[in-house]
Structure 1
Amino acid sequence: MEASKTMAKQFASQGDLEPKAITFVALADGVYAYTAEGDPNSGVIVGDDSVMVVDAQATPTMAQALIERVREVTDKPIRHLVLTHYHAVRVLGASAYSAEHIIASRGTYELIAERGQQDYDSELGRFPRLFQDADSIPGLTWPSLVFDGGLSVWLGKRRVEIMHLGRGHTKGDTLVWLPAEKVLFSGDLVEYGATPYTGDAYLRDWPHTLARLRELGAEQLVPGRGAALTSRSGCEQAIAGTQAFLTDLFEGVRKARQSGKTLKAVYDEVYCALQPKYGHWVIFDHCLPFNVSRAYDESGEHPEPQIWTAERDRAMWQALESG
């Protein structure tokens, strides 16, 4: 029997083909959230003489839809593009912007060098809807400006802080913070109503990074997925919800593994424990096999995330989701 016929669930997000409604919301004067019902978010910051975009979208064709929204509010050139982390669905649309500066953390640069092509091949198979016109992608996205702890960018009088506070969703997670407006673009360090993906994560570190993020005191927050949060309490709800999920996931996997259970047995147990609380979140069924696999690795002999390839994706999915 073919592998696809033995799977209890359709692989990853291959069954999610319905288009999502895009929202372009003003959070402050010249600051916008670009969201789409749980698809990867982007941000737009308009300065005195130029524009910064936060996260590029998956393909140049998809980036054009964001550029059209930018052109509804300003004709200033897009000079800065920030990559909050490296995953193909976030970065491979970069060429559409013709930005002078593509900014990324050193950890993100290292991930591109180490596993950029494998990640592209993997995510293309997982998210067919999110790679509209994949042939428009000219190749991997490489940053032109790489930083370590952080840097300040002035868009005229508007100050933008770009910072790496620690490992979490990946080893290179980057925040974009507007201190005057108290608006934070978190990338996938924070999700809202969407399941955190932890396949490339550092689950022991992530809660500590969230604690540092919380100290910024954001009053508005654009998560990696989900609607923008426009109140201090909403920001805290998103941060706390992300942290609760991570704790429940890792502790559940760690304890089950310590009892001597196999990866498949751990997955079945943790899925049943998490589904009642988090199963309504976007991409829950997509993420859980990857998430449990990474938590199982990190609680054992693999402190560093293993590289996901299209072949490893399928083998893992069949092992955990087969009937």
Structure 2
Amino acid sequence: MFEALVTLCLLSDPAICRDALLPGAEAATMEACEARLDRLAVPEGAWSAGAPFCAPVGAALAFEEVAPGIFVHVGAVAEPDGENLGDVSNIAFVVGREAVAVIDSGSARWIGEATWRAVREVTDLPVHHVILTHMHPDHVFGASVFAGAEVVGHEGLARALADRAGNYAESLEGLIGGQGFLGSRVPEVGVVVSGVGEIDLGQITLELTAWPRAHTGTDLTVRVGDVVIAGDLVFDTHTPALDGSVLGWLEVLERLEGQGARVVPGHGRAVMEMGAALGPMRRYLAVLRDDTRAAIAAGERLGEAVAQVAGSEAAHWALFDAYNKRNATVAFTELEWE
């Protein structure tokens, strides 16, 4: 098999280049691939691009089928860096009779490209939708690979991304390197969800739910039968990251439990029983809430409180030191005016 590529180079540093995938020209022969090059759109951005060319198909991300038609890639439980190149969050795609939906897209364009290849290993059906579960950069920067697909998100997602795009891009490029981030950009949200919505892929229907402020203010879940693809409303192994409301998150978890029997978390294992996944989440968030309230009642200042709030949870989570103090800061700010 062959695919189309284009060499992208940073305008600010032409020595930093990589070959980026141009989806849509996949073919069994070089000649057939080359015949399709003239209809491909070259990505635009802060980089220069050469002429498209064909080459043997590159590496795909590893996905496992966790239920009929539902495929999940497990990202590393780690901070983005030059070794993992930002592959630190779970990604899913769902194959219906008529179309495919991708749920989340990773930290960089290369992850979206490797997801496209994984889809093509399973089906030739078109990718009609890319659904983003929330605003955090490790879930959104690969979406622009899926040209022609509708980008779907919470009604607050477009504004949240617009407000943070520059900071997100600068941070990720610094963490994974210019070459790893090359070609990445924030996608434009075309379909917004408030409340509940549906997407019909043919024989498989996705139920989308936009949630009140919880992990963030832009959380969206995707239900497929008895499986809920939860994004970062559910963490496994990785310390939960609070960027919204600790009280709201606890309330959302109560409602989420009735949504399905199994859940795909945003970080951690590919799929889990719902109760087994939510138990540790509830415990951590309840300790975070209760310790914060106790610190406020004792008259502690923010700097004193964050050093010890939820410290009893440290042994239960990876990356605890990287996230817990941030979580305590957000919780303290929320709860000090109760």
Distance 1:295 1:129 in 2: 29
Shift of 1:40: 0.8
Q: Secondary structure at the match of 1:141?
A: coil
* Aligned pairs (5 A) from 1:143-222: 143-179=189-225, 182-198=226-242, 200-216=243-259, 218-222=260-264
**How far apart in 1 are the matches of 2:264 and 2:104?**
12
Measured against aligned partners, the alpha-carbon deviations of 1:24-61 in whole angstroms (never above 9, x if no partner) come to 21122221111123221111100112210000111111
Q: Paired residue for 1:226, among 264, 268, 274?
A: 268
In structure 1, distance between residues paired with 2:230 and 2:179: 25
SS of 2:309's equivalent?
helix
Q: After TM superposition, give the deviation of residue 123 of structure 1 in Å.
A: 5.2
Q: Following TM superposition, by how much is the alpha carbon of 1:122 offset from its aligned partner in structure 2, in angstroms?
A: 4.5
Cα offset, 1:77, TM superposition: 1.8
Which whole-Å CA distance do the structure 2 matches of 1:247 and 1:117 have between them?
Answer: 34
TM-score normalized with structure 1 length? 0.77
Gaps of 5+ in 1: 1-21, 304-323
Give, in angstroms, the shift of residue 166 of structure 1.
2.5
1:40 aligns with 2:89: yes
- One of 278, 282, 285 as aligned partner of 2:318: 282
Q: Which residue of 1 aligns with 2:55?
A: none
Corresponding residue of 2:143:
94
- Greater shift, 282-291 or 128-137, is seen at 128-137
Secondary structure at the counterpart of residue 36 of structure 1: coil
RMSD (CA atoms): 2.1
Return the TM-score normalized by structure 2. Answer: 0.74
1:98-145: CA deviation from partner (whole Å, max 9, x where unpaired): 1421001112223123333334444555xx2498621211x3222011
In the TM superposition, 1:78-157 aligns within 5 A as 78-122=127-171, 128-129=175-176, 133-137=180-184, 139-157=185-203
1:140 match: secondary structure? coil
CA distance in 1, matches of 2:233, 2:299: 31
In the TM superposition, residue 23 of structure 1 has moved relative to its aligned partner by 4.6
Partner of 2:308: 269
CA contact (8 A) 2:144 2:186 kept: no
Q: Name the structure where strand makes up a greater proportion of residues.
A: 2
Matches of 1:130 and 1:173, distance apart in 2: 28
User: Which residue identity does 2:233 align to in structure 1?
Assistant: L
Aligned to 1:253, which of 287, 292, 310? 292
User: Match of 1:5?
Assistant: none
Secondary structure at 1:161's aligned position in 2?
strand
Q: Residues 208, 220 of structure 1: CA spacing in aligned structure 2 closer, same or farther, 3 A cutoff?
A: same
- For 1:74 and 1:295, the matched residues in 2 are separated by 44
CA distance in 2, matches of 1:149, 1:157: 23
The alignment partner of 1:177 has SS state of strand
SS in 1 for 2:63: strand
Question: Relative contact order (C-alpha < 8 Å, sep 6+): which is higher?
Answer: 1
Structure 2 unaligned regions, length at least 5: 1-60, 78-87
Alignment check: 8 A CA contact 1:89 1:131 kept: no
> CA shift at 1:151, angstroms?
0.9
Q: Structure 1: how far apart are the matches of 2:307 and 2:276?
A: 28
Q: Which has the higher helix share?
A: 1
Q: Determine if contact 1:58/1:89 at 8 Å carries over to the other structure.
A: yes
**What is the alpha-carbon distance in structure 2 between the residues aligned to residue 70 and residue 92 of structure 1?**
18
Counterpart position of 1:52: 101
Contact 1:51–1:76 under 8 Å retained in 2: yes
Could you give the per-residue CA deviations for residues 218-275 of structure 1, whole angstroms, max 9, x where no partner exists?
2321101000235xxx321111211111111121122112212122221222253332
Q: Answer yes or no: is the 8 Å Cα contact 1:23–1:36 preserved in 2.
A: no
**Could you say which residue in structure 1 is the equivalent of 2:66?**
27
Partner of 2:206: helix, strand, or coil?
strand
Alpha-carbon separation, structure 2, partners of 1:172 and 1:130? 27
Letter in 2 for 1:251: D
Q: Which has the larger radius of gyration?
A: 2
Distance 1:107 1:151, change over 3 A: same
Q: Report the alpha carbon displacement of residue 79 of structure 1 after superposing the two structures with TM.
A: 1.4
Shift of 1:164: 1.3
